[in-house]
Structure 1
């Protein structure tokens, strides 16, 4: 007996995935494509197709071309009263494409399947003209694999939606100590192609009390375990991260900064909003000076150094001295 293509998937899971793929896409698929998508043999797909044709109120159409078989599920006529906007659906499809690789595979497939299901609710006049083509993608260097963090993400999402606290285990460094926190998660955040969770570190027992002055952020991929608690966080203040209009993701005390940029990077800097109070002043050498409020000293240092000799921190002076010290230490390595 040949080895199964997918040892983990149950027959009913394969049948459901195949049926939904055919039902929510008004087009035909080759047997080869279906086998690759369902992740099983052609013989298994053929057997599942027979079950669909025999047991569901849909007519399965089969066509042969160049020794290849093609299948199309003729859907039953339905009258939908729900109004779906084709333009809005296309924007959701773009969002789906841009988060591919950031979400765990199963979560992304759920998003994709939900979009396919929503497509069937389009008004009949719009259905034939709607195109679900991939018009966007996500490129990154050194991406993080969140496939192993699906359980942690699901628990965090459940706690956020239900306003409950949790016990969170976190390993900051690869070989570092795992620390445990009583935590009230409030929001998942994407930043520099990484997922973070923001919330309050709270008391471990009894009514939930905030222990830290500022919300704490954890990298999702460094979270080893999340256990939901039946403790309400309804009374805790909700920090609106979108209100943070200054430069910096990790918060220190706000401070004013002034940075010179050369003409080679002035367009890149000028095209973006780094802080709501930013001021850009052209310089006689062809460059610009950016003035803004920053929240994180470490992030500002990394930001300036990322431009190499094309940027120079002018203020604050103590931070400029720290950058100079780092550069001298780097030079010693060479």
Structure 2
């Protein structure tokens, strides 16, 4: 059974026409059913409706017991696309890898934009989008949050202060406050918003210790106000977020960890912090040291390596990790 789509029948009609027209490819009935997330019977009905409504001839043939559809486009002079085939291929790859972050609507819009441009490639060889995909289990479906994302994009572009209602994961009730939206970014399949809090006309203002780091899917409500703000000249995303381990930014501290087995090989393949140092030992283990700004994230990262990672310093954190491990042992012993 085909996966259920968020598109209505009219949207599927346009999507099918755009796919056949702009790519010039031959698609099997099964492939169209999967792409449009509908039954094969619905695809056949869409084909008939396109031909009846727009007078477009959609040709079909059967090969190896599979039915195929395509549109023969009239040859003519077309403007050439100022992209190489490899550049367009890379865009297809980026689109596929960001599928779960885009949500259904933006993913479909991105797909159509690429397909419309694909037809303008000089020559007959086409970049094909089916080479790439995303692994989705455990990810967040951002389809229900498209309106929030669009509002944030508009607010950042127009430099408008926003009034938001936000449900923090550790709070029982949502809170409403005003922000200057500064930057959206993704990390580990989650979209974040970094903002600066501004005084609320509705209640006394308390200056936060840190600028708000908000998870986009926990924004319950967002409204753009008419009040504009100046983008802070001292804002430096690279300096704030890409200089230490951890998306949560508190007082940084130096970490030293011993890793063995596959964990050692896994760890040295990655950059955990730009200032990391790796010392390889004769027994195959490594000593990894770097700067972290988040205690909770560091502990989660450390425990993900099970018994193949041992925290050496800082000592105050070694004691906390030992308590957590002891509590885990008691929990499973019972």
Moved more, 295-304 or 285-294: 285-294
Once the two structures are superposed, residues 280-305 of structure 1 have per-residue CA deviations (whole angstroms, 9 ceiling, x without a partner) of: 12235431111211111111111111
**What are the ranges of 5 or more consecutive residues in structure 2 without an aligned counterpart?**
none
Shift of 1:326: 1.0
TM-score (normalizing by structure 1): 0.85
Moved more, 111-120 or 71-80: 71-80
The answer to whether structure 1 residue 171 and structure 2 residue 170 are counterparts is no
Once the two structures are superposed, residues 4-52 of structure 1 have per-residue CA deviations (whole angstroms, 9 ceiling, x without a partner) of: x9897364x4443333222211123456765662844633531222222
Shift of 1:173: 3.2
Once the two structures are superposed, residues 76-105 of structure 1 have per-residue CA deviations (whole angstroms, 9 ceiling, x without a partner) of: 523305422211111000001111222210
Give the 3 Å change call, closer, same or farther, for CA 238–52 of structure 1 in structure 2: farther
1:60: which partner in 2? 57
Moved more, 15-24 or 210-219: 210-219
TM-score (normalizing by structure 2): 0.85
1:48: which partner in 2? 50
**Secondary structure at the residue paired with 2:82?**
coil
Give the 3 Å change call, closer, same or farther, for CA 52–312 of structure 1 in structure 2: same
Moved more, 60-69 or 247-256: 60-69
Give yes or no for contact 1:31–1:68 (8 Å, CA) kept in 2: yes
1:308: which partner in 2? 306
2:102: which partner in 1? 103
Root-mean-square deviation (CA, aligned residues, Å) is: 2.9
- Show the 5 A alignment for 1:217-256: 217-237=213-233, 239-243=235-239, 244-256=242-254
The answer to whether structure 1 residue 129 and structure 2 residue 125 are counterparts is yes
Question: 1:295 pairs with 293, 303, 306, which one?
Answer: 293
Give yes or no for contact 1:170–1:225 (8 Å, CA) kept in 2: yes
Give the 3 Å change call, closer, same or farther, for CA 26–173 of structure 1 in structure 2: same
Give the 3 Å change call, closer, same or farther, for CA 322–14 of structure 1 in structure 2: closer
Shift of 1:68: 4.9
Q: Say how many residue pairs are matched.
A: 319
1:280: which partner in 2? 278
Give yes or no for contact 1:186–1:238 (8 Å, CA) kept in 2: no
- Show the 5 A alignment for 1:72-87: 72-75=71-74, 77-87=76-86
In proportion to residue count, which structure has more helix?
Answer: 2
Work out the CA distance in 2 between the residues paired with 1:69 and 1:111.
25
Work out the CA distance in 2 between the residues paired with 1:266 and 1:328.
24
Shift of 1:110: 0.6
**What are the ranges of 5 or more consecutive residues in structure 1 without an aligned counterpart?**
54-58
The answer to whether structure 1 residue 201 and structure 2 residue 197 are counterparts is yes
Moved more, 305-314 or 168-177: 168-177
1:94: which partner in 2? 93
Question: 1:189 pairs with 158, 165, 185, which one?
Answer: 185
Work out the CA distance in 2 between the residues paired with 1:135 and 1:33.
14
